[in-house]
Structure 1
Amino acid sequence: MPFFLTSEKPDELVNLLPENLRHLPLDDISNDTETDQIYIRAQISFKGPYQKSRKYFKASLVEGNFCINAFFYDKIAEFCLTAAIGDTIAISKMRIEKNTRPSQGDHACQLIVNNDACVWACVEKPPLHNAPVPTIPRKVVKYTYTKLADLKPKTKANVWGVVRFFKSPTRSRGSDYNLFLTLVDPSIVAVQSKLRCSFFARTAEGLPEVQRSGDIVRIHRLEIQQHNDHLVGGNSPGISFLAFDGSLDGVMTPRTSSSSYTMTPDDEAMLHELRAWIDSWQGDLDSTPEIDSTTPDDPSQNAALPLDSLPVQSTRPKHIFTSISKIRNFAYCNLVVAKAVIAQDCCVLLRVWDGTKATQLFHEENQPDRLELLNSDEDLVCKAGDKMVDIWAFDNHFASASQIELRSFISVINLHASQPKSVSPPRIELTLHGGTSYGKKIEKLDNTHPEVEKLVERINEWELSFSLTCVVHDGHLDTDNPAAATLPCHAHQPISSLQQVQNHQTPYKFRVRVKVLELSPEPTKPHSICQIYCHECHFLSPYPESLQCQINDKPWLEMRDDNGDFRCPTQNCNSQIQTVFMMKLLLHDGDSSLRVGLWGNEAVKFLHDFSPSDVLLNEDLFASVSRSLLEICPKPTQTFDANRPWIECCVMSFSRNTDKKYLIFDTQLNT
């Protein structure tokens, strides 16, 4: 059990070793290595506490870019307590075993150093014999970092980099997890280059904890190889990772699964330097060259300002919204105002507000049947007005989007903006497609998140009066004459005038008290108030009077399938068509008029839950429906008729292209 202490310089330690011993680098150690005639020399980078009950401690030994775990037992462990982190030791005649708990690319082997081994330790000041072990100041391992532009193939290096692109950890074809990312730094971004890295680990936690593009990572012992015409980074024994938030005011604490790591003042300075570089990169947005639309998922070449300052000409099809910098994929921070499940397990519509008003037009949901599904926070809708935008989340984002509650703050990462060619005037459509590239996801933010605090400040600047739709229109309220239609769910809401409805921003909901001056089409026959409608392609046509009628040059009779259901006549669409009520009403409140629509499920509710098929098949039922409609509108007129009954109804406003539209909802006839 030889144990030797020396205060010589670490480079001179080899002079104390027997001449017959041969130096073996850490990366050449394997399970079948014979250790009688070799020695290793390494620096202590980690030293665990001494376990008195079992008389051992664990240490990590580093040589160059390689690291290996060593376990010291019995008397040799007591002697080796003298050595501290940063000291250099040499070991011979140790036992080599397979690493039982590898993580983050640790060495495949581990060392067992017991009383059969020989240890030479180079410390600053050896203790006297039998004297108490002195407290030696722990040294910090000095790491040298290489710029990404200076990396060479077939080498190992320590690097800092900014994540330009990444794919979340996925299980490989084997049992490991894989993470792919690309890194940039100031040395290579000028030449529009990047370092591709692919890492493997037995668990996802053993990989760099990257959350979004723009994060900063520090990697020790990164192995560099040449692949075709570019360099590739990968695992090597002892590789370790630290990940940091890349924002200028981000925390200094790294994200890592390792229980021990070094973080020196030089590291903190490097982190500040890279954050400042990322932040300064944002200020160069206006000079960013437009990219080809065939590369939609590369935010490093495709940047955008917040919605309130984004020029129309800078918004292009397949544009990626970024924030904080060009390199950082936009964690688009929003307040959720409304939500609707458009297609189960497939699509969720989120109506959000980021505290600004966009300078260009954005596409918004305008299908009445989908707007009926929209669950809104009325207070927020009133405050946001026309500053809201719609985001469609698809596929694997359905679960997270559907669980988001109203008034939640969310971050939408890698939001895609496109400009459909069929829409005129041009409008931007915001979509979160399926997949996880660039950390694509929706995440809920805590109220204390820095981005949320900024969002709240912007929202507070838009102090709007809530009295606009809360003024009771008292010019024609007649309590002696009850309304011919009532609101089962919204009778407590104040009444608005039709002028207020037309002047208010869309979308919004109102309660009004009006008279019906005109109803079209007139309910003369059952099919007159019905239409056939396809939810898939939105085909709409009057209900045919007989089976011999032609629809889109197809006989109505031939559109029936084997089950008796009618199919859509539109080319390339074979969806089942439905029969729906569809009417238009001209309303008047004594001061102004408004034309509104009544259709779909809201029309069924309006007509005492009688379905179109019931009305078409039952003449007595149609006669009852016709009498009810004629009571509120006996005959068409263009002037206010004081003898007609009042009706109270809910009216929903929305926009379609540049026009405002209005629908009756949540209303039922009393008669």
Structure 2
Amino acid sequence: MPVLVLKEEDGPLEAQLPSHLRKAELQDLQLGVTHRDRYFLGRVLFTYPSTKLGNGLELFKTVLEDPSETSSSKIKTINTFFFGKLAEDCGKVIRQGDTLVVSGVHLTNSPSGSRDGRHSGQLEVKEENGATVYVLIKSGILSAARAGSSDSVSAQKKDWAPLQKYIYTPLEHLKEGVVSNLFGIVKFFKPPYRSKGTDFCSVVTVVDQSDAKLKCMLFSGNSDTLPKIYKVGDIVRFHRIKIQKFNDEIQGINSSGFSALVFDGTVGAPIVPRTSSKCFSFNTEDQKTIEVLRDWAASHNFSGSRVKLSDIQPVKFFDLTCQLVGKAEVDKSSYLLKVWDGTKCVSPTWKVCVEDDALEGDRTLMHQLLNLTVDILVYDNHVEVAKYLKVGSYVVIHSIHAKLHTASNENQANASHLEFHLHGGTCYGRGITVLPENNYDVKELQRSLDSVDLKEYQCVDDISSLELTNSLQTTLSLELPSSGILERCQQLSVTVLAAHQQWETIPLTTIIRSKAPQKYRIRARLKSFEPRNLYESVKLHCTKCKSLQNVPDEDDLNIILNESSRHCPNPNLQNTSWYQSAVWKTSNQRNRLIAIHFVKKDDMQQNPENTLIMIEGGTLQEVCKLSRQFDSIIPVKSNHERLAIDLSAPFLIQGNRWHYGCRSCSNLKNVDALHSLSQEDSWNATEIAKVLGIEPLRHVFLMQFTFDDETELLNAFLWNYSEQFFQIPASEICFNNKLQEKLHGIMDILCPPRKKLNEYPWLECCIKSYNSTDGREKQICYELFDTVVAEECLK
């Protein structure tokens, strides 16, 4: 069998190995060579969960460390991969800290060697190469899985505890090059984060009564195996940590067999270890050591920067233990977390504006906690962590920045308020840690939350949006202005708000100086807009890959369809079971052939106004003419085997709606799939795209407005809400002259030609700011929303 168990008590390792095998150091292994008569000895530094390759082959990865003191190689670690049945057996047996002897290894180039700091090659261990794996077991600690036959590894390995007594070294006595055991109090730490390689990293600085300190750099392929440190003041016990020198200071790194226990450092808290190990040693002496360290930490103020919301001061960085009430994605580089800890912030706080449907959480609870929650905006690398947080969970957010924002305009609501930011990166321990519900701090927090009287924090101003709407409607019905005032208002503003009429109007100069994301109401003139050629404002947008492209104009479509018309219809693809074909020859264009395939419903042809046809060889003029007679048209061309669709042209034409598909995201299927829709009542564009494997493109208006309110200029996009703004469907405007004239008329009213700016009408608009990166420097952009052109302009 390729996996063998060796026992230390059975004699020296060399005596238990086949006599023909010779030991090889890392520097002796040759690239591209299978070393059948040599073996490599290494300690298991890391193991990774078993996985399967695309072909179903089992794969098990470890990182081996060369323990030899005589090796001349500066790099001591190498990625090692086991394949097939060998991977399955090794995955059951091998654990971190084991000593392995591997023969029959094959050395290949490592694609990650330059990034992870390991050997530039990687070991591949395959049974077909004659590989054998020997697992060395120390005396007295043989598990049930490895007991019995030395040539069988069928049962899964169980955990065992070492029998020796551990000696712990004070930090001031640590020496370079020695593997030690130690206790320490956490003075600083960074929650696990992904390093530049494939591993996770955690940085921990510990101290003890000797006032010496030790910085530890801990790495693991699985973040769950790193020490579970939640706050400054926690107590750690490290076994087998290697001491080395870096920049003239000693430093700890995890070596073979490294293990860690973490304890709450609070005096009186239960002494319960946090660890990923299933079996570990812990005795009364260890308990006494922890109690002594707790007392010493309490007398030396190791509470860290963790505070309550009620104690927060501006321009401070702090840690917050809290419960997550709601969350929402704001943009690609920022994420909103709504949290509370049972206390109320003394200063007014920033409320981040997000779309209602983007907010995740219990709306009723968030409304009840409106005056007790704070909004924290997290950025960059913390966004991925925030996305996977569960609403209702208990978390510690490390190194939050409390920033005082003072508005430049005295009329702005909340002129001064606190903003909370978790900036990107890991400096100063920035990060987010999820706490288990049995954690001591969580239980204390739960007691605090349960004791809060929510009614005490409710006020008259806290009415629901429904109550607010009803109140506004009542006010408007009681205080309607005279018709003269209404007429004057209409003359002054050529747009109206679809919602948010209660918002205060904010000057553009204030908006430009404010952080994103936020929402505003503005009153300004439209100084200019782009593009000036309005037909260029209609774009095709793919919601999947987010691409934008121009709509093909008549000249483009003529070229595309004329190119297809040069191909003669294939007679073998006519008159099938699900469509009936008709072919005729034109008399005025080189005897060109046109084929029309009438798709049947329930094996019967329908009236033209209900029929879907596929056309081969038709020009743009002919397709437009047919679109006035038939319900739906699909332009196709025939090849040797089937009818095909060209996505450079519309894949479906329904009157004035020309439907296009994304060439990048679509996975075109055989047009025979249309037969599956023969039982449907009507031809639905979405269903047609789905069965044909087409990712449909959406027609949108995309324009840039330049606003001027006499305080500042501001550029804002009109995009997602453009059809609401114009009350015009973007999908129909390309082939509808009346809609085109209507759009030109609206823009002439909003931004009248041949007039001075002070003669332009005023626009009431809602705009929102957001952060944009698009691969370059971050910038703040603006977009119109919930704004409609006044009815007088639409007539």
TM range (shorter): 0.3 to 0.5
What's the TM-score once normalised by structure 2's chain length? 0.41
Normalized per residue, which structure has more helix? 2
